[in-house]
Amino acid sequence: MSGMRARQSMTFPAFQQAALWALAALTMLLATSVRSNFKSTPPIIYDTYVVYVLFLSALSFSALRDNRIQLVKSTATELIITISDVQLSDDGEYTCSIFTMPVRTARATVTVLGVPGKPVITGFDDAVEEGGKVTLTCTSSGSKPPAKLHWYRDQEEIQGRPDVVESNPDEPTYTVTSELTLTVTRNDNNALITCAVDHPSIANGDKRTEQPLSVLFSPSMSIQPESDLPREGEKFFLQCVGNGNPEPTAFVWRRKDAELPPLAKVDGAFLRFESLNKSDNGVYECQADNGIGMGDITHTLLVQDPTAMSTSSGVDHAVIGGVVAVIVFIMLCLLIVLGRYLIRHKGTYLTHEAKGSDDAPDADTAIINAEGGHSGVDDKKEYFI
């Protein structure tokens, strides 16, 4: 729609008031003439018919001046027009009239929305030092009615100053401006400041502009040792890490209360030891400068014996030993349970085998009375002389 949208469609454009009354008067004269020549036709129908034809002629004359306006439906009771390529000039009141006696008229207002342009953020050209203030200005032009502007820091909405609305010269549209003032910290570095347009002609988020912030701040420091267990006689280094904007490039190493060891060499952010010695024990300090400020950090070096084990290795061995002890304990419990089960069943067999022999007066009677003997077999005794 060339940057415009119509809120509703309506009938043909309104005529000026004077032309409307002139057309009505002319219609009444022609209607009287028609009734005198066609007396058999009901006059009201002809009144309507004559007025209808005259109205169509006037409409056709108007439409010829603007090809965007087209008649799409014409019946005895209804006229429908369409307006293509809607423009802001199409905004206004539209009137539909039927020239009966009396004249009947209906009116409707068509509001054409001016689609706002993509917002533009200004006021941020160079990086800002930590603790400084930055003022951003967001501007969007071409909206009708005036758009609303919203500020966001990453995904969180923040409040700016109230919108300032100005009318555009020679156009029924508006330019909306909003300002946002921030006191920046190092946490604002690389944060996205967004200005979004809210307007009924567009979906939320369709028109938005993002501006990343760049905040300059002094470095925060840390020292990372090559290992947690430096052993005597090994090579070793300490690395100085500085997190700042910009990144630090100048590093200075010191040893508190003493000079650096003769075998220690400074290599930029690294302090390297060719061969550790117990005499290297001490507190080492690293200082870094990035042009905005300086940062420093200390680290205590304790050189261990060559046979020392790292704390992590000791922890691993303790865990392994605990697992082995649990497994051995479970196996012992299983062996004890299995042994008791076997002993119980063996005792039962012996008891049944000897049942009935305890009260026997002699060995022969005990054998005969014992369970498991051959039932149904005649008792036989054999004697040897």
Residues facing residue 135 across a β-bridge: 181
Give the pLDDT confidence score for residue 123 in this predicted structure: 92
- CA dist 165 to 57, 74, 87, Å? 44, 44, 22
Domain with CATH 2.60.40.10 in the chain: 120-217, 218-301
Please give the Cα distance from 222 to 313 (Å, whole number): 25
pLDDT digits (tens, 9 = 90+) for 70-106: 888 888 777 888 888 988 888 888 888 777 788 888 8
pLDDT digits (tens, 9 = 90+) for 214-236: 999 999 999 999 999 999 999 99
Q: Report whether pLDDT(57) > 60.
A: no
Residues 353-372: what's their mean pLDDT?
56
- 6 band by pLDDT with thresholds 50, 70 and 90: very low
Please give the Cα distance from 127 to 290 (Å, whole number): 15
- Structure pTM? 0.59
DSSP string, 26-90: HHHHHHHHHHHH-TTS-HHHHHHHHHHHHHHHHHHHHHHT-TTEEEEEE-SS-EEEEE-S--GGG
Task: Report the candidate in 285, 286, 215 with the shortest Cα–Cα distance to residue 250.
Answer: 286
b/e code 277-301 from CB counts within 10 Å (16+ = b): eeebebebbbbbbbebebbebebeb
Q: Report whether pLDDT(37) > 90.
A: no
Q: Report whether pLDDT(323) > 80.
A: yes
Give the pLDDT confidence score for residue 12 in this predicted structure: 39
- 43 band by pLDDT with thresholds 50, 70 and 90: very low
Give the pLDDT confidence score for residue 354 in this predicted structure: 52
> Which two three-digit tokens encode residue 81?
């027009």
pLDDT digits (tens, 9 = 90+) for 286-298: 999 999 999 999 9
- CA dist 131 to 106, 184, 218, 338, 370, Å? 64, 5, 12, 77, 106
- Beta strands at 156-158 and 148-153: parallel, antiparallel or unpaired: antiparallel
The mean-pLDDT minimum among 192-196, 281-285, 309-313, 373-377 falls in 373-377
- 66 band by pLDDT with thresholds 50, 70 and 90: confident
Give the pLDDT confidence score for residue 309 in this predicted structure: 61
Q: What is the CATH number of domain 218-301?
A: 2.60.40.10
pLDDT digits (tens, 9 = 90+) for 110-159: 889 999 999 999 998 889 999 999 999 999 999 999 999 999 999 999 99
Output 324 or 372, whichever has higher pLDDT: 324
Question: Quick check: helix, strand or coil at residue 364?
Answer: helix
Helix (H) or strand (E) holding 6: strand 4-6
Taking the alpha carbons at both ends of the chain, their separation in whole angstroms is 139
pLDDT digits (tens, 9 = 90+) for 253-288: 999 988 999 989 999 999 999 999 999 999 999 999
Residue pair 200/111 in contact by the 8 Å Cβ criterion: no
The mean-pLDDT minimum among 60-74, 154-168, 253-267, 358-372 falls in 358-372
- 20 band by pLDDT with thresholds 50, 70 and 90: very low
> What is the percent of the chain where pLDDT is above 70?
70
b/e code 178-210 from CB counts within 10 Å (16+ = b): bbbebebeeebbebebbbbbebebbeeeebebe
Q: What is the CATH number of domain 120-217?
A: 2.60.40.10
Q: Is residue 13 reached through a cis peptide bond, with omega within 30 degrees of 0 on the bond before it?
A: no
> Which two three-digit tokens encode residue 214?
């760049």
Please give the Cα distance from 168 to 116 (Å, whole number): 12
Listed in order, strand segments (DSSP E) in 281-343 are 282-289, 294-301
| Maximum separation of any 2 CA atoms in the chain, in Å | 172
Give the pLDDT confidence score for residue 376 in this predicted structure: 45
